[in-house]
Chain A
Amino acid sequence: QKEVEQNSGPLSVPEGAIASLNCTYSDRGSQSFFWYRQYSGKSPELIMSIYSNGDKEDGRFTAQLNKASQYVSLLIRDSQPSDSATYLCAVGYTGNQFYFGTGTSLTVIP
């Protein structure tokens, strides 16, 4: 089992819809969780960080964390074509390890 798993996609949603991106991890002791957006040819850009169970909202983005299920998700409301990118989930494991998933490709169709 990989340390951080994401569906590779591609995920396609129509403009204005909600895009839902999911991530699971294997270390129950993990305490920090991150979502990054990466446009083609660019570096990963931090979108959200979440440290506690529940939801965290920032504009059109909501991160959801469920430590019992070892699951973290990212919801993008009112999706825009500019949201088309690869989304990377990252988890800070115990024991000084930090892992990235391989990313989910999202396409928002105008």
Chain B
Amino acid sequence: DAEITQSPRHKITETGRQVTLACHQTWNHNNMFWYRQDLGHGLRLIHYSYGVQDTNKGEVSDGYSVSRSNTEDLPLTLESAASSQTSVYFCASSESIAGVWGEQYFGPGTRLTVT
């Protein structure tokens, strides 16, 4: 069965360190997304990609970067981790046909703590 996986599932890091969260999907979807979810804020879009070599900033992109070198993977990098980036991070993927969005499927999430 197709799936979307994230690693690590839990991560504790120190302020100022660079951290990379992995996301891998076997749906063969063109579109991939990174969200963070904090209490009281719902899902907030960090970065998204519509295909290989395409990346776009979401509403909370400061301090984060992504790259898309193949269809399956969209790693999220925190350049210099800050305590404000302590959150739960979700990766998602979807297809869109003729401009109509299909369902987004989510990975299990990564709980990141920055101390």
Contact = CB atoms under 8 A, between A and B. Distances in A.
Nearest to B91: A43
Given A31-B100, A49-B103, A101 B50 contact: no
A103 B38 CA distance: 12
Contacts of A90: 104
Q: Most chain-B Cβ atoms within 10 A of its Cβ — which of A42, A43, A96, A100?
A: A43
Contacts of B94: 98
Interface residues of A, number: 20
A46 interface: yes
Interface residues on B, range: 10 to 19
What is the interface of chain B mostly: helix, strand, loop, or mixed? strand
For A32, A94, A101, which residue has the most chain B Cβ atoms within 10 angstroms?
A: A32
Interface in A90-105: 90, 92, 94, 96, 98, 100-103
A88 B101 contact: no
Contacts, number: 45
B108 A51 contact: no
A103 B39 CA distance: 11
A102 B101 contact: no
Nearest to A93: B101
Interface centre among B33, B50, B100, by most chain A C-beta atoms within 10 angstroms, is: B100
